Amino acid sequence: MSPDRHDPEAAITEAAKSYSNWGRWGDDDVLGTLNFLDGAKRREGAALVRRGVSFSLSQRFDMDGPQKGWRRRTNPVHTMLDTGADAYFGQGFPHGHGGADDVIAMPLQCSTQWDGLGHIFDHGKAWNGRPAEQVVTSAGDLVTGIEHMAPYVAGRGVLLDLGRVIGDDDGTPELPDGFAITEEHLTEAAEAHGVNVGRGDIVLVRTGQLARAKRDGWGDYAGGPAPGLSFTTAGWLHRTEIAAIATDTWGFEVRPNEFEHAFQPLHQVAIPHIGLLIGEMWDLDALAADCIADGVYEFWLTAAPLRITGAVGSPINPIAVK
């Protein structure tokens, strides 16, 4: 039964109560669902490497990205500190030695990234029931900073190409903006690809929206309407015990959201209550094309966040190996 779209408060409260993992791994936990990704699961993922072909699942980090300044999110600004011209005119090094250096300035959530456990709160509560104001301060995330996750995000990846399984009726393997992906859709895609989704998996959901943006222009990709997971998938996200999930969209869940006067309600349950690691703006197109070609939708995946102390998100360059 679908929740009442006019009562998001009740739906969020009920889902938070039903799907909470608070205390599951102890009061001091800082990893959330990454606890499901253990050594055995990593060995399973590593055993999937057969051909040695690899895919970067990251968008480019440059000024031509989708950001428009919402919440002060801008595209990356790359600046050279030293260039070949500097070397030509002399940099003071001996024996003709010269070099180039550069710097980048960017919001941590402006392109392909993970949402850390300190990124979203529910009614002032952070992951594991901690008071949000004690977890994330002006000094950063003092408890669940994303640096804690850096050693662990590597294991079995599974691609669910919803764009092709559900959205290919007219020959275009893309879901339309505003399409809500349900548990039934996720199950249908897994069956179509011949894969099981379960404990410790890193699930990648391709909607095709990024492919559309690359073809037609960014438009409102960063924050506008998008296909994405329905709020009703909160139970599936909890029950399957997946370690993480990532999509090719800006916000992971369907936009506009399914409730009146709500903003990212699935985030509000998935991050602070389930403790789920969520990835956004991943480029899954080349991987998806290879999965079609060889019929294999599972692979070794490594996607470590940068060890940015106290960060509530991190840019990443995920690598899938088949």
pLDDT at residue 5, as a whole number: 86
253: which strand partners?
229
Place of tokens 């991943």: 282
**Res. 267: pLDDT tops 70:** yes
pLDDT tier for residue 283 given thresholds of 50, 70 and 90: very high
Q: What count of residues does the chain have? A: 322
pLDDT at residue 71, as a whole number: 86
Rg (CA), the chain: 20
Architecture of domain 8-67+107-321: 3-Layer(bba) Sandwich (3.50)
DSSP 8-state code for residue 144 = S
**Res. 2: pLDDT tops 80:** no
Cis peptide before 256 (omega within 30 of 0): yes
- Provide the residue ranges of all domains of the chain, joining segments of one domain with +: 8-67+107-321, 78-104
- Per-residue pLDDT tens over the stretch 68-115: 988 889 999 999 999 999 888 998 999 999 999 999 999 999 999 999
